[in-house]
């Protein structure tokens, strides 16, 4: 395993295309009644915000210009402008100020008269229902509107306007209506015929059907394939016009948003941007940050501190940032968000060169099960992952994120950039992923794993565990513990397994089976068994340490510091060098990167964390970090200071300036 800091740098920005350089965007999502907008005033606001690209509604449901296509209905309010053309006016206003104008398209729905003309374009449920909301009818990505008409719609825009890029909204097989009504996978004629040809029978009707997982993969592959063809179509007409969409596009779209009723996960943006770059380092990621609460509440302004966290997490991982508002600026009062967003966007603009070259360089990686189903079958897997993620962040271990499905796909050299891997739910990974993990450990990798849910996949041999003999869950775990080698005990929670280690594996912590609990008079008698709760093993050139229980979920749900300490003990034994030496509190996280010859450390202040969002952080003063020997030219970019340092045990100790929302530390290594 090579040291992360000396590995090759994927030269994302070396390729042609303006979008490979860092950029900042503002989206004005227009309502029909906004047709009279003052394009010069908007362009001025976009520029003053620190953005250099403006995303504007162009076509799809309504066209913001007098389209000649029968499928495109011009906004009936276009008569409010002398030109009758919002897009043409906006392109001119943007050009005059050196801004790029990006066109927002939406092929997911059509107006009733278009639906009447083309019933074959529409989504149809298994029972023959359409998805209709406010009169708009959902279309199907398999059918003609997406497969043919969309190409003509894009061609018309490119013929008429010098736009700098496209974004296509809601590009997916829709199973839900806007009003949260579940109608299931599409059963239109095209979908049924294609499904029958490829899989036989009828498409599934929902997650309860056996074929649903296959349908999810099938529909995802179709969306990726179609996105790739649309991208190629745009490129064939205008090579310098990128498509913002997903993995097969030029720029990957990510949205940082809130949703009423969805479990809050404070690291959502950090996780998704890191996973995107680890998967495909060459493709830029744009994070569009939503200024309002949720789509039914587009006039309710988001918490400015939550918004600040979206932006900071996105840019700390190297993402392009964007502020998304409804209407032209001022139509709805997003003032507090715009103020914070403008400050951070202009910071990004001032440090354009740093962000242009920013690459992830953490030596540790956490494997993401991508099971973000926080209430359904994936709930336990999500909790397992998020608990370990939080623990690493609080322990000041810089790390990247890699999706489990990518383990067997990323090039060996890319995986070998990591010295240490954190693998939640190790018995649940697919067999090919388990093999990739085994090979990586045998080449010298250090693995820390947990056994939580047991799936149909293959458990990595590198764990040194021959079999899981039986499992305790729920009530049968009450009053059970794990005891570490220091004699400390932590509660078992979630699921614990009785395992048979292979010869040569060592037990580093032990299970303490339940004893009586309840009336205090009876609460004694716990004794550690000989069974391991943490198995250590040497595999090839590498090593592993495996918690035989759901350590991550326990930390996620119980938040006990002793659980984090229990995890840290095992991790320090395995990979002591991956911890940043600092006296920072646990609520200030670190994200490591490199930009050219500068090392970069983003410090993110999470002291404002609330149950369902972020409030104002406490300014953190008087802390320090230790940098490697020889570190010099140390800057704090937010404080805009050159920092002084002292030598301590061969390390360079740096006194940090007060940290409000975030700070960015840069330094150069010894020559």
**71-90 binders of Zn ion (CB under 5 A):** none
Residue 125 binding Zn ion, by CB under 5 A: no
Nearest CB to Zn ion, comparing residues 89 and 106: 106
Q: Which is nearer to Zn ion, 191 or 451 (CB)?
A: 191
Q: What angle do CA 35, 41, 42 make, to 5 degrees?
A: 65
Written as six digits, the tokens of 258 are: 């809130």
Residue 471, strand partner residues: 497
- The answer to whether residue 140 forms part of the interface with Zn ion (CB under 5 A) is yes
| Binding piece for Zn ion, criterion CB under 5 A, among 140-148, 286-294, 527-535, 549-557 | 140-148
| Closest CB to Zn ion among residues 71, 138 | 138
Output 140 or 289, the one with its CB closest to Zn ion. Answer: 140
* 397-433: b (≥16 Cβ within 10 Å) or e: bbbbbbbbbbbbebeeebbbbbbbbbbbbbbbbbeeb
325 is an interface residue for Zn ion by CB under 5 A: no
Residue 70 CB, shortest distance to Zn ion, in Å, is 21
Please name the residues in contact with 148: beta carbons below 8 A apart, sequence gap of 6 or more: none
Least gap, CB of 191 to Zn ion (angstroms): 3
Question: What's the rounded Cα separation, in Å, for the pair 157 and 589?
Answer: 44
Cβ distance to Zn ion smaller for residue 120 or 333: 120
**Residues 487-526, mask of contacts with Zn ion (x by CB under 5 A):** ----------------------------------------
> Could you give the CA distance from residue 420 to residue 388 in angstroms, rounded to a whole number?
14
Distance from C-alpha of 393 to C-alpha of 125, rounded to nearest angstrom = 43
- Of the two residues 193 and 619, which places its CB atom closer to Zn ion in the complex? 193
Minimal distance, residue 199 CB to Zn ion, in Å: 14
Distances (CA, A) of 633 to 596, 637, 641, 660, 665: 14, 12, 11, 22, 10
Give the C-alpha separation, 343 to 308, whole Å: 9
Cα distances (angstroms) measured from residue 450 to each of 414, 486, 572:
23, 20, 16
Residue 600 near residue 518 (C-beta atoms within 8 A): no
For the bound state, the minimum distance from the C-beta of residue 116 to Zn ion, rounded and expressed in Å, comes to 18
Q: How far is the CB of 143 from Zn ion (least distance, A)?
A: 6
Span interacting with Zn ion, options 138-146, 283-291, 485-493, 526-534, rule CB under 5 A: 138-146
DSSP string for residues in 265-291: -TTHHHHHHHHHHHH-TTS-EEEEEES
Site map for Zn ion, 167-186, x if CB under 5 A? -------------------x
Residue whose CB is less far from Zn ion, 189 or 282: 189
Binding mask 187-206 for Zn ion (x = CB under 5 A): -x--x---------------
Q: How far apart are CA 332 and CA 299, in angstroms?
A: 7
Alpha carbon distance 42, 49 (integer Å): 10
Q: How far is the CB of 188 from Zn ion (least distance, A)?
A: 3
Stretch that binds Zn ion, among 141-149, 363-371, 429-437, 652-660 (CB under 5 A): 141-149
How far apart (Å, rounded) are the C-alpha atoms in residues 442 and 55? Answer: 48
142-171 footprint of Zn ion as x/- string (CB under 5 A):
x-----------------------------
- CB 129, min distance to Zn ion, A: 13
Least Å distance between CB 235 and Zn ion?
27
Q: Residue 188 or residue 571: which is nearer to Zn ion going by CB?
A: 188
Q: Is the Cβ of residue 108 or residue 645 nearer to Zn ion in the bound state?
A: 108
Q: Which is nearer to Zn ion, 191 or 452 (CB)?
A: 191
In the complex with Zn ion, which residue's Cβ is closer, 227 or 327? 227
Q: Is 237 helix (H, G, I), strand (E, B) or coil?
A: helix
**Sheet of 446-450, strands arranged across:** 399-403, 364-368, 420-423, 446-450, 542-547, 532-539, 506-512, 481-483, 489-491
Torsion angles phi and psi, residue 470, rounded to 5: -155, 170
Strands 297-301 and 292-294 turn out to be: antiparallel
In 107-142, beta strands by DSSP E: 109-110, 132-133, 136-138
Do 172 and 202 meet the contact criterion of CB atoms below 8 Å apart? no
Closer of 68 and 225 to Zn ion (Cβ)? 225
Residue whose token pair is 């010298």: 444
DSSP letters, 468-496, are: EEEEEEGGGGTT-EEE-TTS-EEE--SEE
State the minimum distance, in angstroms, from the CB of residue 642 to Zn ion. Answer: 60
Mention every residue, 6+ apart, whose C-beta is less than 8 A from residue 47. Answer: 97, 98, 99
Total residues interacting with Zn ion, rule: CB under 5 A: 5
Q: How far is the CB of 112 from Zn ion (least distance, A)?
A: 19
Least Å from the CB of residue 452 to Zn ion = 37
Smallest distance from Zn ion to CB 132, Å:
16
Interface characters, 400-439, with Zn ion (x: CB under 5 A): ----------------------------------------
Binding to Zn ion by CB under 5 A, coded x per residue (else -) over 4-43, reads: ----------------------------------------
Cβ distance to Zn ion smaller for residue 170 or 522: 170
> Interface with Zn ion by CB under 5 A: which residues?
140, 142, 186, 188, 191
């Amino acid at each position: 395993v090579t040291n992360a800091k000396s590995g090759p740098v994927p030269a994302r920005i070396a390729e042609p295309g303006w979008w490979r350089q860092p950029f900042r965007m503002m989206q004005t999502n227009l309502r029909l009644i906004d047709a009279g907008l003052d394009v010069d005033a908007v362009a001025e606001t976009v520029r003053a915000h620190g953005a250099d690209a403006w995303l504007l509604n162009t076509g799809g449901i309504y066209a913001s210009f007098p389209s000649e296509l029968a499928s495109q209905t011009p906004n009936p309010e276009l008569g409010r402008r002398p030109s009758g053309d919002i897009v043409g006016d906006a392109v001119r206003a943007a050009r005059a100020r050196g801004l790029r104008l990006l066109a927002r398209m939406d092929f997911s729905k059509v107006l009733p008269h278009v639906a009447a003309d083309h019933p074959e374009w529409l989504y149809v449920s298994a029972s023959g229902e359409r998805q209709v909301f406010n009169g708009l009818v959902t279309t199907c990505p398999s059918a003609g509107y997406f497969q043919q008409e969309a190409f003509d719609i894009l061609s018309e825009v490119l013929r008429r306007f010098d736009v700098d890029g496209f974004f296509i909204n809601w590009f997916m097989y829709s199973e839900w209506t806007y009003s949260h009504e579940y109608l299931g996978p599409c059963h239109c004629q095209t979908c049924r015929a294609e499904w029958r040809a490829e899989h036989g029978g009828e498409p599934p009707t929902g997650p309860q059907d056996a074929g649903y997982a296959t349908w999810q993969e099938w529909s995802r592959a179709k969306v990726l394939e179609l996105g790739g063809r649309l991208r190629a179509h745009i490129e064939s007409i205008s090579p310098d016009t990128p498509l913002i969409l997903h993995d097969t596009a030029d720029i990957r779209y990510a949205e940082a948003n809130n949703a009423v009723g969805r479990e809050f996960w404070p690291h959502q943006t950090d996780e998704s941007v890191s996973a995107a770059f680890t998967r495909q380092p060459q493709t830029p990621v744009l994070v569009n940050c939503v200024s309002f609460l949720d789509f039914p509440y587009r006039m309710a302004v988001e918490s400015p501190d939550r918004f600040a966290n979206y932006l900071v997490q996105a840019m700390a991982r190297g993402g392009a940032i964007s502020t998304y508002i409804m209407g032209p600026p001022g139509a709805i009062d997003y003032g507090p968000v715009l103020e914070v967003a403008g400050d951070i966007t202009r910071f990004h603009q001032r440090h354009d060169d740093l962000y242009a070259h920013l690459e992830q360089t953490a030596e540790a990686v956490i494997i993401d099960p991508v099971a973000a189903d926080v209430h359904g079958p994936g709930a336990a897997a999500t909790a397992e992952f998020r608990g370990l993620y939080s623990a690493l962040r609080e322990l000041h271990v810089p790390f990247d994120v890699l999706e489990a499905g990518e383990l067997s796909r990323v090039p060996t050299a890319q995986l070998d950039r990591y010295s240490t891997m954190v693998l939640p739910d190790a018995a649940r990974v697919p067999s090919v992923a388990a093999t990739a993990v085994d090979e990586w450990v045998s080449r010298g990798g250090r693995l820390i794993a947990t056994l939580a849910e047991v799936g149909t996949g293959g458990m990595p041999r590198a764990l040194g565990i021959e079999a899981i003999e039986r499992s305790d869950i729920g009530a049968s775990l009450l009053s059970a513990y794990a005891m570490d080698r220091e004699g400390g005990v932590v509660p078992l929670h979630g699921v614990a397994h009785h395992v048979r280690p292979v010869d040569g594996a060592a037990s580093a912590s032990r299970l303490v089976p339940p004893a009586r609990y309840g009336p205090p008079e009876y609460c004694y008698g716990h004794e550690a068994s000989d069974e391991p709760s943490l198995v250590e093993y040497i595999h090839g050139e590498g090593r592993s340490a495996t918690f035989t229980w759901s350590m991550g979920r326990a930390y996620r749900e119980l938040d006990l510091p002793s659980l984090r300490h229990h995890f840290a003990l095992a991790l320090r034994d395995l990979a002591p060098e991956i911890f940043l030496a600092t006296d920072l509190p646990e609520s200030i996280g670190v994200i490591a990167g490199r930009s050219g010859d500068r090392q970069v450390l983003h410090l993110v202040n999470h002291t404002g964390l609330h149950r369902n969002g972020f409030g104002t952080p406490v300014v953190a003063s008087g802390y320090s970090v230790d940098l490697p020997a020889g570190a010099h030219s140390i800057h704090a970019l937010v404080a805009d200071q050159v920092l002084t340092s002292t030598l301590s045990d061969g390390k360079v100790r740096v006194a940090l300036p007060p940290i409000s929302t975030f700070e960015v530390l840069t330094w150069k290594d010894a020559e």
